[in-house]
C-alpha cells in the first residue's frame, strides 16, 4: 500500500516554494501526495516562525495534528520550516508527538527522513542553511495560471526587529540563467502570471554580480513567451532605483504594482529599526513612482509600537498614511522577537498600545480603500478568473492591482457563458464591498 503524504505550509510564499520543492522530491520517490493533510499517513507541517502570531498559528496547527495522531487518524508528524529551524530544542522537548524536526538545510533530505520515520525512528536533522537548494522541481500548490519565482533566499539587511537573517542566513541569489529557464518552463506549463519573491527583491544579484540586478532580470523575464503579468513583491524603498522604475514603466508585461515595505516614516524610528531613510525621502520616492508610472498601485507594510515610538511619532505616521493614500496597506503591531537587537531596546511598549495604534492605521486605510474602490465604479477592468462562488452564484478573481492571498478580489457574473479558471476577462465594475469589487463580464473579453 502506498504511503500517503500531506503537507500544510504556513507563512509566506517563499516558504511555500520550499514546500513545493519537498513535495516534488517525495512524488519522485513514489510517495502518494494527498491534498487533505488530515487524510495522510504522514503529515508535514512546514512552519513559519517570523513573528509571534505566526508562531502561534504554527503551534496550534502542530497540536491539531498531534491530536489526530493520538486518535490514530494519521501515523507520523514531520515539522519543517522556520519555526523548526529557530526553536528545535523547544519543539523536541515540548511536542513529543513530532516524529521528525528538520531545519531548512535538511529539506533536500526529506525522502530519506520520511523513510527513517516510517521505520520507527525519531529524526532530527539540521544541515547548514547553505544546503537549502534554491533550484529544482516543484509540485506547484497555487492555481495553475500563476506561480511564484523565488529569486533569492536569506537576507543581509539585518533590520533590528527581524529574525530572518538568523533563521535563513545571508542572502543567496539564484543565477539569472537558472531563473530564466525556470520561468520559461513555468510558462510552457500554462503559467500566465509570474510573481517575483525574495526577502528583499531589490538586492537580487548583489552577491553574485556585485550589484543589484533586478532590472536586468525583469527585462529578461519579459522576453519569455506566454507570460502576461509579471508582479514584483518585497522591494525595499531605499533600493528602488531609477533603472528599476524605468524598466517597470516601459515593460508591458510588468504589472504597474509595487510592494514596498516601508515599516515607518519617522527617521528616528527607522534608524532604530536599522532602516535608512525618513519621511522626506519616502515622500520623494512615492512622488517619483507616481509621476513615472501613472496609475501605479502602491502596496506597503507598517509596524506600530516599535520600542521608543512616541505618541507624536505615531501621529506622524498616521498623518503620512492619510497623505500618501496607499492603494494597499498592511499594518502590524511590533512583535518582540528574541535574538533580535530590538528585543533588548529600552522603551518597549505594552501590547495594548501597539495593537491600538495598528488598529487606528487600518481603520484609516479602510476608508482610503473604500474611496479608491468607489472611484472605480463605472469603469471596465481586466481580471483573471480564480473560481466560482456557489454561495454568491458568481465568479471571483483578481485584477492586475491585486496580488494573490494578500489583496482584494473582484466578484462578477457571466450570464452568457461559462468561464474557465485562468481566463482573462473584462469586468464592468458596478459596486464595492470593503476591499473587494463587484461587477459583470462585458461582451469583450481580454485575450
Per-residue pLDDT tens digits for 234-264: 999 999 999 999 999 999 999 999 999 999 9
- Is the pLDDT reported for residue 404 higher than 50? yes
Look at residues 79, 102, 131 and tell me which one is the last residue of a structural domain: 131
Residue 45 CB contacts under 8 Å (≥ 6 apart), including other chains: 7, 8, 10, 37, 58, 61, 62, 65, 77, 78, 79, 80, 81
Q: Which of 80, 107, 131 is the last residue of a domain?
A: 131
The grid coordinates of residue 83 equal: 519555526
**Alpha carbon of residue 102 to chain centroid:** 22
CATH number at residue 158: 3.80.30.20
The answer to whether position 447 is within a domain reads no
Number of structural domains, the chain? 3
Say if residue 447's pLDDT is above 50: no
Q: In terms of domains, do 367 and 387 share one?
A: no
Q: Judge if 98 and 155 occupy the same domain.
A: no
User: Could you tell me the three cell numbers for 437?
Assistant: 469589487
List the beta strands (DSSP E) in 93-189. 100-102, 123-125, 146-150, 152-153, 172-173
Out of 82, 104, 131, pick the residue that ends a domain: 131
Quote the cell numbers at residue 388: 466560482
The answer to the question of residue 56 being in a domain is yes
In a shared domain, residues 327 and 275: yes
| Cα–Cα dist 399/314, whole Å | 33
Check: CB of residue 411 under 8 Å from CB of residue 436.
Answer: yes
Report how far residue 60's alpha carbon sits from residue 181's, in angstroms, rounded to the nearest whole number: 39
Above 80 in pLDDT, residue 50? no
Does the pLDDT of residue 342 top 90, yes or no? Answer: yes
Residue 24: enclosing H or E segment and its boundaries? helix 13-29
Helix (H) / strand (E) containing 109: none
Nearest to 160 by CA among 76, 30, 240, 275: 275
Tell me which DSSP letter residue 431 carries.
Answer: E
Please give the pLDDT value at position 418: 93
18 exposed, middle or buried (CB, 10 Å; 0-12, 13-18, 19+)? buried
* Cell (9 digits) for 40: 495522510
Is residue 446 situated within a structural domain? no
**Is residue 137 domain-resident?**
no
Range of the domain at 64: 4-131
pLDDT exceeds cutoff 70 at 445: no
Is the predicted pLDDT of residue 1 greater than 70, yes or no?
no
Same domain, 108 and 166: no
Asked if 193 and 342 sit in the same domain, the reply is yes
SS3 call for 239: helix
- Percentage of the chain with pLDDT > 70? 99
In a domain, residue 141? The reply is: no
Q: Cell for 121?
A: 525512528
Strand, coil or helix: 382? strand
Residue with cell 544541515: 127
237 shares a domain with 190: yes
167-199 per-position pLDDT tens digit:
899 999 999 999 999 999 999 999 999 999 999
Whole-number mean pLDDT of the chain?
Answer: 94
Can you list the pairs that 179-182 forms with residues at least 24 positions away whose Cβ atoms lie under 8 Å?
179/149, 179/151, 179/217, 179/221, 180/220, 180/221, 180/224, 182/135, 182/149
* pLDDT (0 to 100) of residue 446: 45
In this structure, are 251 and 365 located in the same domain? yes
Q: What is the pLDDT of residues 60-115, one digit of tens each?
A: 999 899 899 989 899 999 999 988 888 888 888 888 889 999 999 999 999 999 99
> What number of other Cβ atoms are within 10 A of residue 363's Cβ?
11
Q: What is the CATH number of the domain that holds 397?
A: 2.40.50.140
| Mean pLDDT to the nearest integer, 133-154 | 95
**Number of neighbouring beta carbons within 10 Å of residue 226:** 14
CA–CA dist 431, 439 (Å, integer): 6
Is the domain of 268 the same as that of 337?
yes
**Please, which pLDDT band fits residue 444 given cuts at 50, 70 and 90?**
low
**Domain-located, residue 46:** yes
Considering the domain architecture, whether residues 210 and 285 belong to the same structural domain is answered as yes
pLDDT for 131 = 87
Question: Percent of the chain scored above 90 by pLDDT?
Answer: 81
Mean pLDDT of all residues in 10-18: 91
Query: Domain for residue 140, yes or no?
Result: no
Query: Is residue 209 pLDDT above 70, yes or no?
Result: yes
Note the pLDDT of residue 256: 97
In a domain, residue 136? The reply is no
Same domain, 220 and 337: yes
Q: What is the CATH number of the domain that holds 86?
A: 3.40.50.12160
- How many residues comprise the chain? 447
Same domain assignment for residues 341 and 197: yes
Same domain membership, residue 108 and residue 174: no
Q: How far apart are the first and last CA of the chain?
A: 46
Identify the residue with better confidence: 213 or 51. 213
CA–CA distance from 92 to each of 99, 109, 237, 390 (Å)?
A: 9, 19, 40, 43
pLDDT, tens digit (0-9, with 9 covering 90-100), for 265-323: 999 999 999 999 999 999 999 999 999 999 999 999 999 999 999 999 999 999 999 99
How far, in Å, CA of 376 to CA of 190, rounded? Answer: 30
Q: How far is CA 301 from CA 6, 154, 276, 362, in A?
A: 32, 19, 16, 11
* pLDDT tens-place string over residues 15-35: 999 999 999 999 999 999 999
Contacts of 3 (CB under 8 A, 6+ apart): 31, 32, 41, 42, 114, 118
pTM: 0.94
Helices within 30-109 (DSSP H only): 52-70, 82-86, 88-94
Amino acid at each position: 500500500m502506498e504511503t500517503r503524504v500531506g503537507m500544510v505550509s504556513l507563512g509566506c510564499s517563499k516558504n511555500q516554494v520550499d514546500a513545493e520543492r519537498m513535495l516534488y522530491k517525495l512524488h519522485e520517490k513514489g510517495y502518494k501526495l494527498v491534498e487533505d493533510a488530515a487524510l495522510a499517513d504522514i503529515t508535514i507541517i512546514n512552519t513559519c516562525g517570523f513573528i509571534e502570531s505566526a508562531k502561534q498559528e504554527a503551534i496550534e496547527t502542530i497540536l491539531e495534528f498531534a491530536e489526530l495522531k493520538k486518535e490514530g487518524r494519521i501515523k507520523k508528524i514531520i515539522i519543517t520550516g522556520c519555526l523548526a529551524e529557530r526553536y528545535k530544542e523547544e519543539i523536541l522537548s515540548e511536542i513529543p508527538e513530532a516524529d521528525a524536526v528538520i531545519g531548512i538545510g535538511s529539506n533536500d533530505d526529506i525522502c530519506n527522513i520520511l523513510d527513517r520515520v516510517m521505520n520507527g525512528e525519531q529524526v532530527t536533522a539540521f544541515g547548514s542553511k547553505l544546503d537549502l537548494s534554491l533550484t529544482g522541481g516543484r509540485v506547484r500548490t497555487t492555481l495553475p495560471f500563476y506561480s511564484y519565482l523565488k529569486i533569492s533566499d536569506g537576507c543581509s539587511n539585518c533590520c533590528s526587529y527581524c529574525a530572518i537573517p538568523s533563521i535563513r542566513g545571508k542572502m543567496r541569489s539564484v543565477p539569472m540563467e537558472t531563473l530564466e529557464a525556470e520561468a520559461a518552463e513555468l510558462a510552457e506549463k500554462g503559467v500566465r502570471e509570474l510573481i517575483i519573491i525574495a526577502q528583499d527583491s531589490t538586492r537580487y544579484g548583489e552577491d553574485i554580480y556585485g550589484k543589484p540586478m533586478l532590472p536586468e532580470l525583469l527585462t529578461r523575464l519579459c522576453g519569455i513567451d506566454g507570460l502576461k503579468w509579471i508582479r514584483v513583491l518585497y522591494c525595499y524603498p531605499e533600493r528602488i532605483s531609477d533603472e528599476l522604475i524605468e524598466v517597470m514603466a516601459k515593460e508591458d508585461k510588468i504589472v504597474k504594482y509595487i510592494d514596498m515595505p516601508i515599516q515607518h516614516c519617522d527617521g528616528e524610528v527607522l534608524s532604530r529599526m536599522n532602516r535608512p531613510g525618513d519621511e522626506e525621502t519616502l515622500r520623494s520616492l512615492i512622488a517619483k513612482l507616481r509621476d513615472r508610472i501613472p496609475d501605479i498601485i502602491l502596496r506597503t507594510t507598517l509596524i506600530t509600537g516599535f520600542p521608543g515610538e512616541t505618541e507624536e511619532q505615531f501621529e506622524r505616521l498616521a498623518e503620512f498614511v492619510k497623505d500618501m493614500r496607499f492603494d494597499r496597506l498592511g499594518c502590524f503591531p511590533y512583535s518582540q522577537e528574541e535574538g533580535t537587537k530590538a528585543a533588548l531596546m529600552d522603551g518597549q511598549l505594552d501590547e495594548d498600545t501597539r495593537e491600538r495604534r495598528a488598529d487606528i492605521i487600518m481603520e484609516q486605510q479602510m476608508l482610503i480603500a473604500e474611496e479608491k474602490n468607489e472611484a472605480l465604479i463605472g469603469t471596465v477592468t481586466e481580471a483573471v478568473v480564480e473560481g466560482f462562488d456557489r454561495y454568491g452564484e458568481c465568479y471571483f478573481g483578481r485584477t492586475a492591482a491585486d496580488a494573490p492571498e494578500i489583496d482584494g478580489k473582484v466578484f462578477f457574473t457571466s450570464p452568457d457563458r461559462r468561464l474557465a479558471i485562468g481566463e482573462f476577462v473584462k469586468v464592468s465594475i458596478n459596486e464595492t464591498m470593503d476591499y473587494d469589487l463587484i461587477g459583470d463580464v462585458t461582451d469583450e473579453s481580454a485575450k
